[in-house]
Structure 1
Amino acid sequence: MEQSTVFAARVDRWSRGRPLLVDGLLAGVIWLVFGLLSLLAGPTGLAVATATVLPLAWRRKRPAALLAWTAAVFVVQLVVLPIPLPANIAQALMIYTVAAHVASLAVRLGALGAALAGSLAAGFRWSTAPDYTRNAFVIAAFLAVFAGLIWLIGNVVRGRETNTRALGEAYARLEESRRQRERFLAQRERVEAAREIHDIVAHSLTVVVVQADGAEYAAEHAQPWDRTDARAVLATIGRTARTALAEVRGVIDVLRDPEGADDPAGPSVGLADLGRLVAAVRAAGLRVEIRADPAVFERTPAAVRLAVLRVVRESLTNVLKHAGAGATARVVVERTPGAVRVRVEDDGAGPAPGVVAAGPGHGLGGMRERLRALDGALAAGPRPGGGFGVEATVPVAAGGGRP
């Protein structure tokens, strides 16, 4: 059954792609069968049959014009011949063609009206005595019912084809929507990857710049040169660069393997990662006081833990950039009913006179967008007593876990 259905579908597609060829073959077959049979009415019958049947080769190309032609030939037939012809099947086929392939309701109703009028005229022309009138109405009624059924079938077929086209257009729109959604998701992945790489590079370069500036100052002013301090500075720079390189490679690996990004477990982020982040910032010369609830990294979803780490990293990077020398940062990560709260505050006075502050970046905006994706919120601004503060709240349920 399935193979026959597939074969029928292929035949249908082939015939729809070659309407002139198919209609030409159909006209030829009808003429060979019904046209030649019309020769029983003599040469006049053959001529009328030929004029009726052969134009069917263009029935789907110009249905309205051929309907008028067929009607005119039928009028001639009623005048010159007192009997029906086998080729009159062509009139029925034209009625079906107009009903099935013409969109104009007026033309379709005109075809039905012409068919009914022709049925009545044929009934009186082909009726015989002795009960001439009764026979005329019986013949007319039979032809009218037959023509009406043909017209109705054509309209049903036209409606089916219209629905099929509508479904095809709807499917095409859905397919285009799917492709647009895929492009949007790919673009969003690229934006998120770019934002992640920006955060990694910004934090790492900030640490590197602070260490390099400090080493440059010490090399110029410190007496004598302390090899131990120099080695510590270089070790911090190397460790920071290697960590940044590994994290950037991890982001690129996620882009290369999108299925890995759908892992429900998410990236493994724990309290140790927060500790390494704080240690790197301290090595850059910033005093950091931290109080972190271990439960935040033990009983919360991976997405929430990753968001916490990103907020702390971006906030401490901003402290390094903007707080100035001698600043102290305080980090608090605590669990509240149904959410995780992160506070990062500093008491910095800003860059020293003559030092150019880092230009405005996209860190706060990026944090807000990330937290918004988790139904979280971010508040940031100067503190009344001096310095700057950042406070983020991330609902635990947004990450897919239980409060």
Structure 2
Amino acid sequence: MEQSTVLAARADRWARTRPLLVDGLLAGVIWSVFGLLSLLAGPAGLVVATATILPLALRRRRPVAVLAGSAGIFVVQLVVLPIPLPANIAQALVIYTVAAHVASLPVRLGALGAALAGCLAAGFRWSTEPDYTRNALVIGVFLAVFAGLIWLIGNVVRGREANMRALAEAHARLAESRSQRERFLAQRGRVAAAREIHDIVAHSLTVVIVQADGAEYAAEHAQPWDRADAGAALATIARTARTALTEVRGVIDVLRDPEAADEPAGLSVGRSDLGQLVAAVRAAGLPVEVHADPAVFEQLPAAVGFAVLRVVRESLTNVLKHAGARATARVAVERTPQAVRVRVEDDGAGRVLDLVAAPGHGIGGMRERLRALDGALAAGPRPGGGFGVEATIPVAAGGVRR
């Protein structure tokens, strides 16, 4: 059954791509059967039959012209022949063609009107005595009903074809929409990866620059030069660079493996990760006070834990960049049943310049990340001096919007 369906579909596609050839073959077959049978009405019957059937070769290419020609030939037939011809089957095919392939409703209604008028005229032309009028009406009504059914079938086929075209167009639009969505998701993934790399590199380079500047100043001005201090500065630079390299490689691995775009379910963030982050900033010369409950990261979704670390990292990086040399920072992380709150404050004299930076960087980048988790972020100068950042992140990881 399936094989026959496939063959029928292939035959249908073949016929649709070669309408002129198919219609020519159809006209030849009809003439060889019904045209030759019309010879029973004499040479005039053969001539009329040939003139009726041969235009069918152009029925789908020129349906209106074929309709007009068929109507004219039928009028000639009614004048010269008192009987119907087998070739009159061609008129039924013309009515079907116009109904099925002409989009104009007036033309289709005109074809129906001409068919009904021709049927009534044929009834009176082909009727016989003694009940001439009764026979004429019976013949005319029968032919009119037949022609009306043919016309309705053609309209049904035309509607089906229109629905199929609309369905194909909708399928094409759906495929294009799916393709656009895939491109959008891929682009969003690349943007997210670029943002992660920016944050990693910006934080790490800030620490490296602070350490390098401090070591350079000490080498030029400190008396005597302390080899231990130099070693500590270089060790901090090396550790920060290695950590940054590892994190960047992790982001690149995500780009190579789209299935790993989200943090694995088994991956967790703990208080030790926060401690390592703060230690790296302290090593860069920024005093940092941390207030975080030991249990704040317990059973915390990985996405929320990473968001906490990103807020702290970006905020402390901004303090290093903009708060001034004698600034100190305070980090507080607390958890409620509904959310995790992060506060990072400093008492520096500078101002955070990237508060109004382009989205994807600094404060704007943090706000963008938290929005994806249904979180919120507030940032601005503190009344007593310095700058503050406060983030609220819902604990429910299922709230992440894709």
TM over 0.5: yes
Does 176-185 or 79-88 show the bigger shift? Answer: 176-185
Tell me if 1:190 matches 2:210: no
CA contact (8 A) 1:277 1:313 kept: yes
Q: Name the CA distance, whole Å, in 1 between partners of 2:75 and 2:19.
A: 28
Q: Name the CA distance, whole Å, in 2 between partners of 1:64 and 1:286.
A: 88
CA contact (8 A) 2:355 2:362 kept: no
- Quick one: which amino acid aligns to residue 248 of structure 1? V
Q: Which SS does the other structure have where 2:295 is aligned?
A: helix
Aligned to 2:382: 383
Aligned to 1:282: 282
Q: Which SS does the other structure have where 1:350 is aligned?
A: coil
1:303-350 CA-to-partner distances (Å, cap 9, x unmatched) read: 110100000000000011011112211101110230000000111123
- Correspondences of 1:144-155 after superposition (within 5 Å): 144-155=144-155
Aligned to 1:372: 371
1:187-230 CA-to-partner distances (Å, cap 9, x unmatched) read: 21111111111100100000010011001101111122221111
CA contact (8 A) 2:263 2:302 kept: no
CA change 1:155–1:11 in 2 (3 A) is same
- Quick one: which amino acid aligns to residue 130 of structure 1? P
CA change 1:399–1:122 in 2 (3 A) is closer
Q: Name the CA distance, whole Å, in 2 between partners of 1:5 and 1:152.
A: 26
CA contact (8 A) 1:206 1:317 kept: yes
1:217-259 CA-to-partner distances (Å, cap 9, x unmatched) read: 0111112222111111111111111111111111111111111
CA contact (8 A) 1:301 1:400 kept: no
Q: Name the CA distance, whole Å, in 2 between partners of 1:43 and 1:83.
A: 14
Aligned to 2:233: 233
CA contact (8 A) 1:343 1:392 kept: yes
- Correspondences of 1:21-32 after superposition (within 5 Å): 21-32=21-32
- Quick one: which amino acid aligns to residue 261 of structure 2? A
Query: What's the CA shift for 1:269?
Result: 2.2
CA change 1:266–1:202 in 2 (3 A) is farther
Aligned to 1:243: 243
Query: Structure 1 unaligned runs (5+)?
Result: 352-356
Q: Which SS does the other structure have where 1:296 is aligned?
A: coil
- Quick one: which amino acid aligns to residue 346 of structure 1? D
Query: What's the CA shift for 1:296?
Result: 2.6
Misfit runs of 4+, over 6 Å? 357-360
Q: Name the CA distance, whole Å, in 2 between partners of 1:193 and 1:328.
A: 31
Q: Name the CA distance, whole Å, in 2 between partners of 1:140 and 1:262.
A: 76
Aligned to 2:91: 91
Tell me if 1:273 matches 2:276: no
Aligned to 1:354: none
- Correspondences of 1:95-244 after superposition (within 5 Å): 95-244=95-244
Q: Which SS does the other structure have where 1:69 is aligned?
A: helix
Aligned to 1:302: 302
- Correspondences of 1:320-331 after superposition (within 5 Å): 320-331=320-331
Q: Name the CA distance, whole Å, in 1 between partners of 2:355 and 2:153.
A: 75
Q: Name the CA distance, whole Å, in 2 between partners of 1:105 and 1:281.
A: 79
Query: What's the CA shift for 1:399?
Result: 4.6
- Correspondences of 1:310-389 after superposition (within 5 Å): 310-350=310-350, 361=357, 362-389=361-388
Query: What's the CA shift for 1:40?
Result: 1.2
Query: What's the CA shift for 1:295?
Result: 2.7
- Quick one: which amino acid aligns to residue 341 of structure 1? R
Q: Name the CA distance, whole Å, in 1 between partners of 2:356 and 2:170.
A: 47
Query: What's the CA shift for 1:5?
Result: 1.6
Q: Name the CA distance, whole Å, in 1 between partners of 2:259 and 2:395.
A: 24
Query: What's the CA shift for 1:391?
Result: 0.5
RMSD: 1.7
Query: What's the CA shift for 1:123?
Result: 0.7
Query: What's the CA shift for 1:292?
Result: 1.5
Q: Name the CA distance, whole Å, in 2 between partners of 1:262 and 1:48.
A: 78
- Quick one: which amino acid aligns to residue 368 of structure 2? E
CA change 1:273–1:372 in 2 (3 A) is same
Query: What's the CA shift for 1:178?
Result: 1.2
- Quick one: which amino acid aligns to residue 203 of structure 1? H
Query: Structure 2 unaligned runs (5+)?
Result: none
Query: What's the CA shift for 1:294?
Result: 2.9
Q: Which SS does the other structure have where 2:296 is aligned?
A: helix
Q: Name the CA distance, whole Å, in 2 between partners of 1:331 and 1:359.
A: 19
Share of identical aligned residues, percent?
A: 84
- Quick one: which amino acid aligns to residue 152 of structure 2? L
Q: Which SS does the other structure have where 2:384 is aligned?
A: coil
Q: Name the CA distance, whole Å, in 2 between partners of 1:189 and 1:12.
A: 44
Query: What's the CA shift for 1:78?
Result: 0.8
- Quick one: which amino acid aligns to residue 105 of structure 1? L
CA change 1:263–1:359 in 2 (3 A) is closer
Query: What's the CA shift for 1:15?
Result: 1.1
CA change 1:381–1:358 in 2 (3 A) is closer
Q: TM-score, normalised by structure 2?
A: 0.95
Query: What's the CA shift for 1:163?
Result: 1.1
CA change 1:280–1:172 in 2 (3 A) is same
Q: Which SS does the other structure have where 1:6 is aligned?
A: helix
Query: What's the CA shift for 1:381?
Result: 1.0
Aligned to 1:37: 37
CA change 1:360–1:146 in 2 (3 A) is closer
Q: Name the CA distance, whole Å, in 2 between partners of 1:76 and 1:20.
A: 27
